[in-house]
Structure 1
Amino acid sequence: MTVQLQQRPHVAGVWLLLCYLTGAWSIPDPRHREALIQLEAFMQTGGQMVLTEAEQQLDALLFKMKQEETARAEFPPAVHFFKARDLIRTSPIFKLLQKMPKGGALHVHDFSMVDVDWLVQNVTYRPHCYMCGTDNQSVRFIFSAQTPRPLSHCSPWVLLENLRAKMVNSTDLDDSITHNLTLFTSRDPEVVYPTQDVVWEKFEQAFLAVWGLVTYAPVFRDYFYQGLTQFYVDNVMYLELRALLPEVYELDGSTHSRAWTLKTYQDVTRQFTTNHPDFLGVRVIATIHRGVNASVMAGAVEEAMELKKSFPDFMAGFDLVGREDRGRPLWYFRDALSLPAEKGITLPYFFHAGETDLEGTDVDQNLLDALLLNTSRIGHGFALLHHPVAKDLSRKKGVAVEVCPISNQVLKLVKDLRNHPAAALMSESHPVVISSDDPAMFGASGLSYDFYEAFVGFGGIKSHIGSLKQLAMNSIRYSSLESEQQEKALGLWQRRWQKFVSKWTFSK
C-alpha cells in the first residue's frame, strides 16, 4: 500500500477518501495512517520531486542538521531576526544554503540591496559629500560642488570630509550614520520598535537618508554593481528589481530622466553579465509610491507604458510601493491601472498586496483587486489565508506569492516565523517564491537568510531538499522571463544544482 502511494499518491488519496465516506473501516489501520502521512508529504512544496541518490544522501544530512537545529536553546525562526542573525550565521544549514544555487530573487527593492557598511565606508568618504540632521532625528545627504542650499527641517549642511578631518577617530560618527541607514539594532528590537507605526516610520526615514547618497550618478552606478555582486556571491543567478527610477543627479545639480536611469541599470547589468557570464541578468519593475493621487498615478502608468515600449526586454512591468496600510488601495487607482488594457498595450503588473494584518478593511481587499487587475505575481500576500477565493484563484491562474520572511517579521506582521501564513501555503504546494525585499535595511544580505527562515521555520522537520529544489525552480518558472529564456535558465540552474549536490555529498 505504501509503495503504491509513493508512486501514485493522488490515486491512493481518492481511495482513502472513498473508504472514509463509505465507512469501509472503523478501526484505525497503520497502513491507512501511513498513507495519509505520505499523501500530505506529497502535497507539500517539493513533495513530488523524484530525488537522485546524491540528493537523497544530502537530504539525510539536512534532516540530521534540522533535528540538531530544533534542539537548540534558542530556535532562530522563533526569535526576532536582529537577535537571531548571529545564531543563523553559526548554523550548518545556513552555510549549506549560502552555497546552494537559489535561482532568482524576484522581490528586491532598488536602494536596499547593499550592506550599509559599504555605503558608509565607500560612499560617505567620497569628496563633496554633505550631511545634515533632521528635526526627527534622521539625516540627509547630498553631493555638491559647493555648499548646498539649506534644506527645510534640517540643520546646516556639513561637508563630511571637513568634519572627519577634525576628528581623531571617526568611528562614532560612522556608527551614527550607520544607525540612520538601517533598521538593524543591537538593542532589544521589541523595545526599540514597539509598534508597526514606529518601525515603519524608521523604515521610511532610512530610505530618505539613503536617497541622497545613491541617487548621485557615480554612486548610482557603483551601488547597483555592488548590489549585483552581493547577490551573485550569495549564489543568486537572476534578479527582478523594484525600482522607483529616480531622476539621478550630477555634482553640478543637473538631473537625468527616468529613461536615462533605466538605461543605466541596463548598461550596468550588461557590464556585470559580461564579467560574470553565469549570471543571467536583471529585469526592472518600475514603481511609484502608493500615496500619490489618481492623476499622478495615471501619469506614472502612461510613462511606464512608454518605458516598456523603449525597453521591452529589460523592463518587466509596474508596481506600487510604500506601506500598504497607509497608502491608497488598488481599487482607488483602477482607472489609471486600466489604461494599458484600454489602449491595447501590454504592461505586466507585479502588485504588492496583502502585506497587512488589517482584516476586513479596504486595504485588505487589495489581494482580490490585484487578481482582478491581472497581476503576474503577488508581493508578500501575507493576508492570503484570509481570502480563500483569492487563494484559489491565484493557484488556478499560476500567480505566485513573493514571500519575504524577514521583512514580514521585522515589520511586525508575525513574531514567530513558524506561524507565518506561508507555512500553510507551502504545505499545499501553493505557488511561492522566496525573496529578501530590503535586505540591507534588515541587516541581512542576498537571499540565504530568507531561505533559511523559510526552510527551517516554515517547513519544520518535514520540509526537505525537494522543498529547496522546488523553491529555487519556482523563482525561474514564475519570473517575467519568456518561456524560452526560462528553459535556458533552468538548464543552467540544473547544472549548478547537480554540481552543488555532488560537491556537498562528496565532501561529507
Structure 2
Amino acid sequence: MLLTGQIKWLAVLLATMVFSLCLALPLDDYRKALIRTEEMLQIGGELLLTEQEELANEKLMALKNAEITQAMKKNQFPPSMHFFRAKKLIEESKVFCVLKKMPKGAALHLHDFGILSVDWLVRNVTYRPHCHLCFTPSGNLKFRFADPAPPTPKPEGCSEWILLEKYRKQLQNVTEFDNSLLRNFTLVLEDPEIAYSDQAVIWARFENIFIAVSGLVHYAPVFREYFARGLEEFYEDNVQYLELRATLYPVYELNGQTHDQEWSLKTYQEVAQKFAKDHPDFTGVRIIYSNNRKNDVDRVAESVQIAMKLRVKFPESMAGFDLVGQEDKGHSLWDLKEALLLPATQGFDLPYFFHAGETNWQGTSIDENVLDALVLNTTRIGHGFALGRHPMARNVSWNRDIPIEVCPISNQVLQLVSDLRNHPAASLMSSGHPMVVSSDDPSIFGAKGLSYDFYEAFMGIGGMKADLRTLKQLALNSIKYSSLSVDKKKTTKEVWQKKWDKFVDDLAKLL
C-alpha cells in the first residue's frame, strides 16, 4: 500500500511528465494543466465529490466568494484581523453559519481547562458556598474552596483569603465585579496589540489565567462538572471525539483531601463514558498526560514513568504523553531526551504527541524541536509552526504520514502570526501535507468549540481554492490521525459519514 507522501510524490512526477509534454501545447492549455495539478495536490484535492456534494460545494463557494469579494471592497477580512476584533464579523458570516453545522469529526489538540466558556465559572462556580479568593502581589487571582477558610497564605504568595459570598454582599456593583472576573479568565481585550506588547507579556498573562482557573476547576465537584459541560459545548459544535492534554494535578475536596493522577484519569473516563451513553453518536475522549517543559530531566522522567503506569491501568482512556508550556522558555526535546527515551529502553509503547515548533526563532534549539519530535517518534506534531523552515522535517513527517495540529486562533493570539493568510500552514495545506485543525484553548481566546478555527483555516489559511473537499478531508483526517483503535476509527467514521450526508443534503438545498 502506498503511503500518503508516496502518492503525492507520484502526482508530482506525473505532473512533471505532463508539463514536459505540454511545452508544445498552447500556453492556455499549459496554464490549465498547472492549475489543475496544484488543485489535486492541495488537501482534499484528490477527493471525488458525489453529485449532491457538488451541489453543496456550489452553494458553499458562492457564499465564500461573496464574503471575500465584500471583504476586499471594505478592506475588512476577518482572518487578516486580530481575532478579538474579527469575532463579531465571523459570527455574522454565512460561511461560519454553515461551518457550525458541519460535522467536524475530532478535536485533537485541546488543553484540560481551556475547553469551556468561562461564563459558567463566574456565574455559577464562584457563587458556590465556601469559595475563597485572594490576590497575588502582582495582582493575579487565586481561588480555593475550603470550610473553614484555607490556611493563611504567605504574604509573598497571596493576600488574606476572602470569602466571596461575604465579599459580594459588601459590594455596590456586583455585576461589575463579576465582569472583572470574566476579564481575568480570558485574554480578550479591545486593544490586544497595545496591552500585550510582546510574547513574554501575553504568555505570562496566559499562564496566570490557568493558575486562576485551576483553583476553581481542581475542586472535585467542579472538576467533574466542568469536564461534562466542556464535552457538551464541543458536542453542540458538532465534534464527535476529543483528545485532551491534561496535567492531572491533584484534585482537592472541601476538607483539603487531595486525589492523585489515577483518580483524575478515572473521573475523566467515567464522565466521558456517561456522556457517550447519553449521546450515542459521541465517540468519547482520550487523555494525553502532560508535564511542563520547564521541568528538569528528573521530573520529566518521573512523569514519563507515571504515564506508562497510567497507560497500563487505563488503556482505553490514556493515549500518551506530551510536554506543554511556552517552548521558547522551556527545555528543548533534545535536552530532555534521557527522560523521553525511557519507554523505548524498557520496551514499552508510550505514544508521544509533542508540541513542537511553536516559535518564530529560527535556528534555535527550540526551533529544532520539530526535528527532535520526529527523531523521538512523535505520533503528531502540536502546532508545527516552524515545520516549513525545516525541509527535512517536512519530508519526514510527510513520508511517515505524521500530521501537524494546526491551531489558527491560538497562533495568532499568542503572536506567532498576525495575518492568518500568511500562516505557514498555508503552504502545507496547498501541498496536501498531513494536518488537522484544532482550537487549543478556545475559552481563553474568547472562542467556543472548533468552528471559529475551522473558519480561519477555511477562509484565511486555505485561500480562495479551499472548498468542500478541503473541509471533508480535514474532518476525515481528524478521525484518521486520532489515537483511536482501528475498530473505533471505523465506527466513528461511519457515524460521521451519516452526519456528513445530512449536512451535505441540507447545504445543497440552501437557497
Give secondary structure in 1 for the equivalent of 2:320. Answer: strand
Residue 132 (structure 1) aligns with:
134
Gap runs ≥5 in structure 2: 1-9
SS of residue in 1 equivalent to 2:144: strand
1:42 and 2:40 aligned: yes
| Deviations 1:247-287 (CA, angstroms, capped at 9, x unpaired) | 10000001011100000000000111111111000000000
Letter in 2 for 1:160: L
Give the match for residue 249 of structure 1.
252
Structure 2 residue 184 is the aligned partner of structure 1 residue 180: yes
Instruction: Measure the CA separation in 2 of the matches of 1:202 and 1:183.
Output: 7
TM-aligned CA deviation for residue 12 of structure 1: 5.6
Which letter does structure 2 place at the counterpart of 1:401?
A: I
Aligned AA (1:111): F
Question: How far, CA to CA, are the matches of 1:151 and 1:204 in structure 2?
Answer: 21
Residue 500 of structure 2 corresponds to residue 497 of structure 1:
yes
RMSD of aligned residue pairs (Cα, Å): 1.3
- The alpha-carbon deviation at position 178 of structure 1 amounts to 1.1
Match of 1:209 in 2: 212
Contact 2:19–2:33 under 8 Å retained in 1: no
Superposed CA deviations along residues 76-135 of structure 1, whole A, max 9, x for unmatched, are: 000000000000000000010000000000000000111011110111011100001111
Paired residues for 1:337-486 under 5 Å: 337-486=340-489
Tell whether the 8 Å contact from 1:103 to 1:237 is kept in structure 2 after alignment: yes
Counterpart Cα distance in 2 of 1:263 and 1:309? 13
Question: May I ask how many residue pairs the two structures share in their alignment?
Answer: 496
Deviations, residues 180-233 of structure 1 (Å, cap 9, x unaligned): 111012x21111112111110100111111010000000000000000000000
Q: What is the CA deviation profile of residues 444-464 of structure 1, one whole-angstrom value per residue up to 9, with x for unaligned ones?
A: 010000000000001121110
Per-residue deviation, 1:151:
2.5
Q: Which residue number corresponds to residue 259 of structure 1?
A: 262
* CA–CA separation in structure 1 for the residues paired with 2:493 and 2:13: 30
Cα drift, residue 9 of structure 1: 6.8
CA contact (8 A) 1:105 1:240 kept: yes
Counterpart-to-counterpart distance in 2, 1:101 and 1:244: 29
Q: What is residue 56 of structure 1 aligned with on the other side? A: 54
Q: Structure 2: which amino acid aligns with 1:149?
A: P
- Distance, in Å, in 2 between the alignment partners of 1:147 and 1:222 is 23
Deviation at 1:58, TM superposition (A): 1.5
Q: How far off its partner does 1:32 sit?
A: 1.2
Q: Measure the CA separation in 2 of the matches of 1:79 and 1:453.
A: 10
Task: Using the TM superposition, give the Cα deviation of residue 325 of structure 1 relative to its aligned residue in structure 2, in angstroms.
Answer: 0.3
CA distance in 2, matches of 1:171, 1:68: 41
CA distance in 2, matches of 1:99, 1:110: 25
Aligned to 2:315: 312
CA distance in 2, matches of 1:370, 1:395: 14
User: Aligned residue for 1:165?
Assistant: 169
Q: Indicate the SS of the match to 1:199.
A: helix
Q: In 1, Cα distance between the equivalents of 2:98 and 2:235?
A: 16
Matches of 1:94 and 1:192, distance apart in 2? 29
| Distance of 2:329 and 2:441 partners within structure 1 | 19
Query: Deviations along 1:399-454, whole A, 9 cap, x unmatched?
Result: 11000000000000000000001111000000000000000110001000000000
Look up the SS of the partner of 1:445 in the other structure: coil
Q: Is the 8 A contact 1:108 1:242 kept in 2?
A: yes
Deviation at 1:349, TM superposition (A): 0.2
Provide TM-score, normalisation by structure 1: 0.96
CA distance in 2, matches of 1:333, 1:66: 45
CA change 1:495–1:133 in 2 (3 A) is same
Q: Which moved more, 1:424-433 or 1:167-176?
A: 167-176
Summarize deviations over 1:139-165 as a string: whole Å, max 9, x none: 000000111123333221111111112
Q: 1:406 to 1:75 in 2, by over 3 A?
A: same
Matched with 2:6 is: none
The separation in 1 between residues aligned to 2:365 and 2:195, in whole angstroms, is 30
Decide whether aligned partners of structure 1 residues 11 and 200 sit closer, same or farther in structure 2, where only a CA change above 3 A counts.
closer
Amino acid at match of 1:174: D
Q: Is the 8 A contact 2:11 2:41 kept in 1?
A: no
Point out 4+ residue stretches in structure 1 off by more than 3 angstroms. 8-12
Q: Is the 8 A contact 1:378 1:402 kept in 2?
A: yes
For 1:192, the equivalent position in structure 2 comes to: 195
- Larger deviation, residues 114-123 vs 8-17: 8-17
Amino acid of the structure 1 residue aligned with 2:264: T
Structure 2 counterparts to residues 20-31 of structure 1, below 5 A = 24-25=23-24, 28-31=26-29
Residue segments in structure 1 that go unaligned for 5+ positions in a row: 1-7
Q: State the one-letter code of the partner of 1:472.
A: A
Partner of 1:238: 241
Structure 2 distance, partners of 1:169, 1:52, is 58
Work out the CA distance in 2 between the residues paired with 1:279 and 1:468: 20
After superposition, where does 1:43-122 map in structure 2 within 5 Å? 43-70=41-68, 71-72=70-71, 73=74, 74-122=76-124
For the Cα contact (< 8 Å) 1:110–1:243, is it kept in 2? Answer: yes
TM-score (norm 2): 0.95
Residue aligning to 1:3? none
Contact 2:426/2:462 (CA < 8 Å) preserved in 1? yes
Deviation at 1:345, TM superposition (A): 0.8
Map of 2:158 onto structure 1: 154
Inter-partner Cα distance in structure 2 for 1:90 and 1:11 = 43
Say if 1:12 and 1:308 are closer, same or farther in 2 by CA, change over 3 A: closer
C-alpha separation between the residues in 2 aligned to 1:364 and 1:459?
A: 24
> Does the CA contact (< 8 Å) of 1:100 and 1:235 recur in 2?
yes
- Provide the residue aligned with 1:33 in structure 2: 31
Q: Distance in 1 between the 2:468 and 2:85 partners?
A: 27
Sequence identity of aligned pairs in percent? 52
Amino acid paired to 2:487: E
Where 1:142 maps in the other structure, the secondary structure is strand
- Counterpart of 2:56, as a letter, is L
Task: Give the corresponding residue for 1:5.
Answer: none
* Residue pair 1:16, 1:32 contacting (<8 A) in 2 also: no
Contact 1:12 1:35 in 2 (8 A): no
Q: After TM superposition, give the deviation of residue 66 of structure 1 in Å.
A: 1.5
CA distance in 2, matches of 1:482, 1:49: 24
